[in-house]
Amino acid sequence: MSNNYLSELDYNDIRIVSTLDALPHKSSTKRISEALDIPSRSIRYRLTKLKEKGLLKEQTVITHERKLGLRESFIILEENPNYRETFQKIVEKNPALSWYVPTSGKFQGYILHSINAMNVLDYPQQLLVLMKEKGIINDYSHFEIIDYHEFGWNYKYFNKEGKWIWNWKIWEENIRNENYSKETVDFEENPKVTNFDHLDIQILKNLILFEGLTKKEMGKKLELSESQIGRRIRSMEQSGIIRGYRTGFAPFSETQTVLCMIKIGDSFEHIVNILKQIPYPKTIAFENRHSIGLGFELPTNEIKGFLNGLHCLRPLLDSYFLQFQLRKPTFNPQISFDLFDKDSNDLGHVVNEYEKSLEQIRAI
């Protein structure tokens, strides 16, 4: 495999990144040094170089939106090219439609990410029905994320020289031979909204917007002590609002983001455990035990291998379809956070934003 980024890595880089992933959030270089028996100064130097080259980002927070009273959806749209400009204006004016990207696959159009309050009507669905009636879009598929799990790199597929040795034939053989774990899948079918307040929202916003921001720096911005920031973060970790942290390790220069929407019968655990074998960082999202979504990024020269493996999996599925993102989403998460109403402590403004969009469409 030829890849510009991988040629710049060695095995100690892989050891450091994998240890960084395994240790608690923002672990010190001293702790990594003790785990690997590599001098702290060498670890600091290597981490700095990886970040300078764009191979590694700061650890970012993974949140469980439903714990915050957020209903989160992915919508895949078949566009009507005659109304492309109208569609884009509607989406860009509504902060509850946080981002959209062009896509190809079963649907030729866009992947749209939406949020809505748990305690109000399903506005994204109303919006979609009306856009289809007006001819602004031709068709759509709506997937509501009830629960999800993120999985990181399987570092065992980096060899002693730091090279990636994964081959999709491994996955094909494991599917055919039913060689995978039989673990019970932890899927929360009705996640409960947990206790939080406006300050928690501000902390999450700062964690997401400002990578590398220290608790002390955040405390100054929010007029809280460093210990207060720490206690609130720990509380959100314990309640499940913060599910974990993601290390942005990106060893490949040319990648493709794939979204696979899957319908299954009674083989929920079976299919999820097979998907978990894919060694790239991935998200497996659950709408229910019969509808799941897989999202991940893989090197462009491995797409055919993934498709071949998926073909082996096909007899175990009721149906599936694929979408390829044609670019990375660009969005400002601050806009979504600003929909939280400080006084009512919920998404008090989201109703107005959807109503504005509905009125805009009705006027067409």
Q: Are 157 and 164 in contact (CB under 8 A)?
A: yes
Instruction: Please give the average per-residue pLDDT across 86-110, as a whole number.
Output: 94
The answer to whether position 112 is within a domain reads yes
Long-range contacts of 3-8 (CB under 8 A, 24+ apart): 3/164, 3/251, 3/252, 3/253, 3/254, 3/299, 4/253, 5/53, 5/55, 5/250, 5/251, 5/252, 5/253, 6/162, 6/163, 6/164, 6/251, 6/252, 8/53, 8/55
Q: Check whether residue 169 and residue 318 sit in a common domain.
A: yes
- What are 227-275's pLDDT values in tens digits? 999 999 999 999 999 998 888 899 998 999 999 999 999 899 999 999 9
- What are 43-55's pLDDT values in tens digits? 999 999 999 998 9
The answer to whether position 274 is within a domain reads yes
pLDDT for residue 2: 47
Dihedrals phi, psi of 323, to nearest 5 degrees? -135, 140
Q: Check whether residue 48 and residue 90 sit in a common domain.
A: no
Q: Check whether residue 181 and residue 209 sit in a common domain.
A: no
Q: Give the global pTM.
A: 0.92
pLDDT for residue 291: 97
- What are 116-175's pLDDT values in tens digits? 988 777 889 999 999 999 999 999 999 999 999 999 999 999 999 999 999 999 999 999
Q: Check whether residue 278 and residue 290 sit in a common domain.
A: yes
pLDDT for residue 344: 77
Q: Which H or E run contains 89?
A: helix 84-93
Domain final residue, candidates 56, 74, 92? 56
Q: Check whether residue 226 and residue 295 sit in a common domain.
A: no
Q: Are 285 and 148 in contact (CB under 8 A)?
A: yes
Query: Which CATH number does the domain housing residue 48 bear?
Result: 1.10.10
Domain final residue, candidates 176, 205, 239? 239
Is residue 70 helix, strand or coil? Answer: strand
- What are 41-90's pLDDT values in tens digits? 999 999 999 999 989 988 888 999 899 888 999 999 999 999 999 999 99
Domain that holds residue 301: 148-188+248-325
Q: Check whether residue 118 and residue 167 sit in a common domain.
A: no
Dihedrals phi, psi of 296, to nearest 5 degrees? -160, 170
Cα–Cα distances in angstroms (integers) from residue 30 to residues 27, 40, 166, in the given order: 8, 6, 31
Q: Is the pLDDT of residue 180 over 80?
A: yes
- Tokens at 309, concatenated: 């493996």
As for how many domains the chain has, the answer is 4
The answer to whether position 256 is within a domain reads yes
- Whole-number average pLDDT of the chain: 91
pLDDT for residue 208: 85
Q: Check whether residue 30 and residue 119 sit in a common domain.
A: no
The answer to whether position 263 is within a domain reads yes
Between CA 61 and CA 63 the distance in angstroms is 6
Between CA 164 and CA 194 the distance in angstroms is 41
- DSSP assigned state of 155: G
Q: Check whether residue 168 and residue 271 sit in a common domain.
A: yes
Q: Check whether residue 44 and residue 163 sit in a common domain.
A: no
Sign of the CA dihedral running 121, 71, 239, 227: negative
Q: Check whether residue 252 and residue 302 sit in a common domain.
A: yes
Query: Which CATH number does the domain housing residue 288 bear?
Result: 3.30.70.920
- What are 202-227's pLDDT values in tens digits? 999 898 888 778 899 999 999 999 99
The answer to whether position 340 is within a domain reads no
Q: Check whether residue 161 and residue 259 sit in a common domain.
A: yes
Q: Is the pLDDT of residue 4 over 60?
A: no
Question: Which positions ≥6 away from 81 have C-beta within 8 Å?
Answer: none
